[in-house]
Chains A and B, each alone.
Chain A
C-alpha cells in the first residue's frame, strides 16, 4: 500500500513505513542540541548581562583610579597647598593613614560589640525560641536592617548621644586608667564609642542572618547524639553546633565588618572628627573615618580635593573588597566540606 490516503478506520496493513534515514549516524553518544535564532540571541543576551556584572565591578575600580590619579601623582607640597583639609600632612599616604586607622578602629569596635549579641540572637532563634515563633522573630531582627542609615544617624545624634553621655562620664571617671577611656570625656558624647554602638546595631542583622543559617544547618544527628550522652542544651551547642559553625561565624563577622567599614551617615552625623592616631574612645575630635570624611568634604571641594577624596575612597574600596572576598571565600570553601553526612 503506497497510497498517501488510507481510510482512517482501516487497520494498518502491510509493512510499516520506513523510518527516515538517521541523520546523526556518524555521531554516537550525546546529541548536542544547538540553539538557533531567538534562542541563541537570548542566550547571548543573558550571558552578556552576566559578563556586564564583572565589567561594572572592573569599571568601579578603573574610574576611581582614573579620577584619583591626579592626586596620587601630584607633588606633595602642591597637593597640600591645593587641598585645604590635608592639615599639612607630609604626603597623601600620611593623610590617609589616620583615616584608615579611624575607619578600622570604629569598625572593630562595632564588631566587638555586635558579634556576641548577634550570635546570641542567632542561637536564640535557631535553638531556644519556641519553634512557632522563630520565623517571626527572625523577621523582627531583619527589620533593624530595613531602617535607613540616615535615621540611625538622626537617632544616634539626637537621642542616643545625650542618653549615654552620663554613662561615658562614669566610665571616664572610674576606668580612666585604661588607655581607651582616658582623657576628657566629651560633654556631647559625639565620640567613637557612641559611633561604635550605633554601627553595632546596624550590623547586627547581617551577622545574625548568616550565623542563623549556619546554626540551622547543624546535622540533627550530632545534636541528638550530644543530648543522648547527657549534655545540657548549652553543652550540646558548645560541642555540636559551634564547632560545626565556626567558619560560618567567622565569615558572618567579616561580612559585618565590611558593612561597618563602609558605613557613612551614622559616623558623619554623630562623630566630631579629628585626624589623629588615637585610641581615646571618649574624647571628641580624635578620629575620623574615610567614608564620613568623603561625605563631609565633597560638597565644597576643588577638583584636586575631589581627586584626593576619591583616592581615599579607593583605599576604602580595596579594604572592603579584601574583607568581603575573604569572607565569601571562607563561605564557599565551607560549602565543599559542610557535608557532615
Chain B
C-alpha cells in the first residue's frame, strides 16, 4: 500500500460518511412535517370549539340569564335562564363527590398501605376496567338499581349522583393511589418507630403529606363528571323549574339543559311578531355551554392551584 492509495481511500471514505443520503433525509423531513402537522391539526378543533362557544355564548350570558329558571317560558320569548340547571348540577355533583371520595380514598389507602395478594391485584385491575365503563351504562345501572326498589318511574337527583359516582370512583382511586405512593416510606417507618398505631400513621402522616395531591385529583375528577350528560338524561330527566331536593322529583342539570335546548331547535316565528327570536334555543344552549365550560375549567384551575399552594414543601 502506498501513501497515495491510502489517501485516496481515506478521501473516498470521507466522502462516503459526509455525503447526504437524499432519500433518507427527504423521508426524515417528510415525517417531521407530518408530525408537526398532526399537532397543528389537533389544535384546530380545540380552537374552533373554544372560539365558537365563547363568541356565541357571550351574546346571551348575563346576570338575568344566570338567575332565572325556565318556568313558564315558551315559544321564542327572550326570557328564561339556567339558574335551575346550575343548582341541579352543583347539588348532584356535590352528592356524587360525597359518595365517591370516601370510597375512592379508602380503596387507595387499601391498595397502598394494606393491599397484598390476589384481592389487591383484582382491585387494581378492575379499577382500570371501571374507568372504561360507558357513561350511559352507568346511568342505566343507577336507574335499574333504584327502579328495583322504587318502581319504574323513578327520576331523582340522587339516582344521577349514584351514576356519576360510578364514573368518579375509579378516577379518585387512581389519582389518590398515585399520590399516596409518593409519600416516602421513611415517614411511615419513623412514625411507627415512635409507637404510633398504624391507623394514626395513615391518617396523620400519610394522608397529611399527600393531601394536596389528593385534593387536586378529586377536583379534576369532579370537573370530569360535571360535564356528563347521558347518565343524567336517563336517570334524572328534565324539568323547567327549580328543584333543590335530591330525593324527590326530576332535576335539571347544565349538560342536559344544553341538549334539551339543542333538541328544541329553531322557533317558527310569524313575521312581525314581537318578542320572538328564531334562534333563542340555540342561543341559550351556547350560553349554557359557556357557563359549563367556565365551571369545568375553573375546577381544573383550582385543582392545579391546590397543588401549588398546599404542597407539603410549602408548609415549612
Which residues does chain B contribute within 8 Å of A208, judged by CB atoms? Answer: 42
Q: A151–B169 contact, CB under 8 A?
A: no
Given the known inter-chain contacts A47-B114, A324-B129, please indicate yes or no for A64 contacting B141, CB distance below 8 A: yes
Residues of B within 8 A of A268 (CB): 230, 259
Contact of A128 among B27, B36, B41, B132 (CB under 8 A): B36
CB within 8 A of A39: which of B49, B125, B198, B229?
B198
B166 within 8 A of A: yes
Contact with B along A231-242 (1 / 0, CB 8 A): 011110100000
Whether A277 is near chain B, meaning CB under 8 Å from some CB there, is no
* Given known A-B contacts A56-B169, A67-B144, A148-B226, A49 and B110 have beta carbons under 8 A apart: yes
With A151-B293, A153-B262 in contact, do A117 and B49 touch (Cβ < 8 Å)?
no
| Contacts of B53-73 to chain A: CB distance below 8 A | 53
| Listed stretches B7-15, B268-276, B284-292, B307-315; interface member | B284-292
The stretch among B90-98, B115-123, B210-218 that forms the contact with chain A is: B115-123
A41 nearest CB across to chain B (Å): 7
Q: Do A269 and B262 have beta carbons less than 8 Å apart?
A: yes
In the bound complex, do residue A53 and residue B282 qualify as a contact, i.e. CB atoms below 8 Å apart?
A: no
Q: Which of B145-153, B181-189, B239-247 contacts A (4 or more CB under 8 A)?
A: B145-153
By secondary structure, the A interface counts as helix
B133 touches A233 (CB 8 A): no
B3 at the interface (CB under 8 A from A): no
Once A46-B114, A49-B110, A50-B120 are accepted as A-B contacts, the answer to whether A320 and B46 lie under 8 Å apart by CB is no
| In contact, A143 and B46 (Cβ under 8 angstroms) | yes
A291 to B53, CA, bound (A): 25
- The residue on A at minimum CB distance from B46 is A144
Cβ distance A155 to chain B, nearest Cβ, rounded Å: 5
Q: In the bound complex, what is the Cα–Cα distance between A50 and B107 (angstroms)?
A: 5
A102-140 vs B, Cβ < 8 Å mask (1 yes, 0 no): 000000000000001111110111001100000001001
Query: What residues of B have a CB within 8 angstroms of the CB of A9 in the complex?
Result: none
Mark each residue of chain A from 39 to 80: 1 if its CB lies under 8 Å from any CB of chain B, else 0: 101110111111111101101100110110000000000000
Write the A181-220 contact mask toward B (1 if CB under 8 angstroms, else 0): 0000000000000000000010010001000000000000
Cβ distance A40 to chain B, nearest Cβ, rounded Å: 9
User: Once the chains are docked, how many angstroms separate the CA of A155 from the CA of B292?
Assistant: 14
A243 proximal to B (CB < 8 A): no
Q: How far is the CB of A276 from chain B (nearest CB, A)?
A: 22
Given contacts A52-B107, A63-B141, A120-B39, contact A128 B32 (CB under 8 A): yes
User: Interface residue tally of chain A, by bracket?
Assistant: 35 or more
Chain B 227-254 interface mask (CB, 8 Å, partner A; 1/0): 1111001100110000000000000000
Q: A128-B32, A154-B258, A269-B262 are in contact. Are A146 and B27 (CB under 8 A)?
A: no
Known A63-B145, A149-B227, A157-B262; contact A294-B126, beta-carbon cutoff 8 A = no
A298-B233 in contact given A53-B107, A155-B52, A306-B152 (Cβ < 8 Å):
yes
Residue of A nearest to B234 (CB): A298
Q: Which residue of B lies closest to A43 (CB)?
A: B114
Q: Is the CB of A303 within 8 A of B152?
A: yes
**Is the Cβ of B38 less than 8 Å from the Cβ of A124?**
yes
Q: A46-B114, A234-B31 are contacts. A159–B48 as well, Cβ < 8 Å?
A: yes
User: Is A60 in contact with B230, judged by CB distance below 8 angstroms?
Assistant: no
**B166's closest neighbor in chain A, by CB?**
A56
Report B-chain residues with C-beta under 8 Å of the C-beta of A66: 144, 148
A100 in contact (CB, < 8 A): no
B297 x A146 contact (CB < 8 A): yes
Q: Which of B111, B120, B135, B202 contacts A42 (CB 8 A)?
A: B202
Contact B46 A140 (CB under 8 A): yes
State the CA gap A125–B43 with chains docked (Å): 13
CA A152 to CA B49, docked complex, whole Å: 8
A255 interface hit (Cβ, 8 Å):
yes
Whether the Cβ atoms of A63 and B148 lie closer than 8 Å is yes
* B198→A59 contact, CB < 8 A: no
B199 within 8 A of A: yes
Distance A140 CA – B42 CA, assembled complex (angstroms): 10
Chain B interface: which of A20-28, A86-94, A258-266? A258-266
Contact yes or no, B202 A316, CB < 8 A:
no
Contact between B125 and A45 (Cβ–Cβ < 8 Å)?
A: no
Contact at A146–B126, with CB atoms within 8 Å?
Answer: no
With A66-B148, A124-B38, A299-B237 in contact, is A53–B109 under 8 Å at CB?
no
Asked if A323 CB lies within 8 Å of chain B CBs, one says: yes
Known: A50-B119, A52-B107. A148 touches B229 (CB 8 A): yes
Residue positions of B touching A, CB distance < 8 A: 24-25, 27-28, 31-32, 34-39, 41-43, 45-46, 48-49, 52-53, 102-103, 106-107, 109-111, 113-115, 119-120, 122-123, 125-138, 140-141, 143-145, 147-148, 152, 166, 169-170, 173, 197-200, 202, 223-224, 226-230, 233-234, 237-238, 255-256, 258-259, 262, 282, 285-286, 289, 292-293, 296-297, 300
The 5 closest A-B pairs by CB, nearest first: A262-B134, A148-B227, A120-B38, A49-B106, A324-B132
Residues of A within 8 A of B (CB): 35, 37-39, 41-43, 45-54, 56-57, 59-60, 63-64, 66-67, 116-121, 123-125, 128-129, 137, 140-141, 143-144, 146-155, 157-160, 201, 204, 208, 232-235, 237, 255, 258-259, 261-265, 268-269, 291, 294-295, 298-299, 303, 306, 309-310, 313, 316-317, 320-321, 323-325, 327-328, 332
Given A123-B35, A144-B42, A147-B293, 11 more A-B residue pairs with CB atoms under 8 Å apart are: A117-B38, A120-B39, A157-B262, A201-B42, A201-B45, A232-B28, A265-B255, A323-B132, A324-B129, A328-B125, A328-B129
